[in-house]
Amino acid sequence: MADTQDSIFQIQRVYLKEASLEQPNSPAILLEQEQPTVDIQLGVEATPVADGIYEICVTATVQTKIADRTVFLVEAKQAGIFEIRNLSEDQMAPIMGIACPQIVYPYLRSNVADIVQRAGFPPVHLAEINFQQMYEQQQSGSEGAATLAQ
């Protein structure tokens, strides 16, 4: 009944891999009274690093505009290094597409809110994401508001 090799799923590290902020139309656009529109895009990517070691990145792009002019653009990539061993192929994909992003995403949410607030704007709070639903949509090939990146 017991496997000779136990399954392993461990977090090695969670880190902010990349972050950028642009305010191309400041300071003039900051004087506008109109409410900006906000567009948020999310993505997940998994990359093998070494045998049994994977980097899972969750990316967010947050763009606010007034008319066709950008108020600010934030791009951030939060990553985690995970050790995942002795799982079957049909177990690996959901772990990397659901479990790992669920661990990394709260750090991304916090970093995006902090970057936006430090830029002098009210923080943008990214909504909770159902990574299982996002993964299932990607598996069935349907288009959702959020898509899995390569």
pLDDT for 122-147, tens place per residue?
A: 888 899 999 999 888 888 875 444 44
pLDDT, tens digit (0-9, with 9 covering 90-100), for 3-12: 558 899 999 9
pLDDT, tens digit (0-9, with 9 covering 90-100), for 12-57: 999 999 999 999 999 999 898 899 999 999 999 999 999 999 999 9
Phi, psi of 73 (to 5 degrees): -135, 125
pLDDT, tens digit (0-9, with 9 covering 90-100), for 62-115: 999 999 999 999 999 999 999 999 998 889 989 999 999 999 999 999 999 999
Enumerate domains of the chain plus CATH numbers: 8-140 (3.10.420.10)
pLDDT, tens digit (0-9, with 9 covering 90-100), for 33-42: 899 999 999 9
Strands annotated E in the chain: 8-22, 37-50, 53-66, 69-85
